[in-house]
Chains A and B, each alone.
Chain A
Amino acid sequence: DAGVIQSPRHEVTEMGQEVTLRCKPISGHDYLFWYRQTMMRGLELLIYFNNNVPIDDSGMPEDRFSAKMPNASFSTLKIQPSEPRDSAVYFCASSLDVGKNTEAFFGQGTRLTVV
């Protein structure tokens, strides 16, 4: 398996523009997580899905952020409009079964820069 795949790897955009980050979880994994990492705030969980259904989105910072999982093999995180303070590395991770074995597999991340 290729692991969790994220695209793009790097994104530079202007303030006010819409940004869409994409994630393909590992096949067969029931859980998908979106994290944001910054020097100031560390690794923050934004939202997670179970079987394509959003379970907890309390970490989503503002209404400008939205996430979808239309099917088991694809998820998006959208920021509209983007602001400079959204600059961070965004990670997607997936887990097989968050019961006994809850190991999360992380993608390579998307480094977002909003200028």
Chain B
Amino acid sequence: GQQVMQIPQYQHVQEGEDFTTYCNSSTTLSNIQWYKQRPGGHPVFLIQLVKSGEVKKQKRLTFQFGEAKKNSSLHITATQTTDVGTYFCAGPTSGTYKYIFGTGTRLKVLA
């Protein structure tokens, strides 16, 4: 079945450093979503990418969808302590609305 993997699994950074998480799907995706889950919280939608090669920015966050629509990345510039949490990508199984979540990258920011 479809698998969505993320690397790294964990990342500790000093406040102010940059951070990137990578998402790889075993199948081509019609779109990809990114969510953030704070410790003890629930996933919160960040963004959806649809087009091949698409790049979107939200303040310090930059999201990219690969040309082949099988991978994606999230880059955070100059991390802050408020960025702490687990970042998930999610993509739909082909022809369905069944979103498979990635394994997640847990970010810790050291002040």
| A and B found bound together | yes
Interface residues of A (CB under 8 A from B): 31, 33, 35, 42-45, 48, 50, 55-56, 91, 93, 95, 98, 101-109
CB pair B33 A103 closer than 8 Å: yes
What chain B residues lie within 8 Å of A56 (beta carbons)?
96, 98
Nearest B residue (CB) for A3: B42
Shortest CB distance B85–A (Å): 13
What chain B residues lie within 8 Å of A93 (beta carbons)?
43
Total A-B pairs in contact (CB under 8 Å)?
Answer: 50
CB pair A102 B88 closer than 8 Å: no
Partner of B101, one of A43, A50, A109: A43
Q: List 18 A-B contacts (CB under 8 A).
A: A33-B99, A35-B101, A42-B103, A42-B104, A43-B43, A43-B104, A45-B98, A45-B99, A55-B96, A55-B97, A91-B43, A95-B97, A102-B33, A103-B45, A104-B33, A104-B43, A104-B45, A106-B44
Nearest A residue (CB) for B88: A43
Chain B contributes a number of interface residues (CB within 8 A of A) equal to 19
Interface residues of B (CB under 8 A from A): 31, 33, 41-45, 48, 88, 92, 96-104
Q: Is the interface of A mostly helix, strand, loop or mixed?
A: strand
CB pair A48 B97 closer than 8 Å: yes
Shortest CB distance A68–B (Å): 19
CA distance A108 to B40 in the complex (A): 9
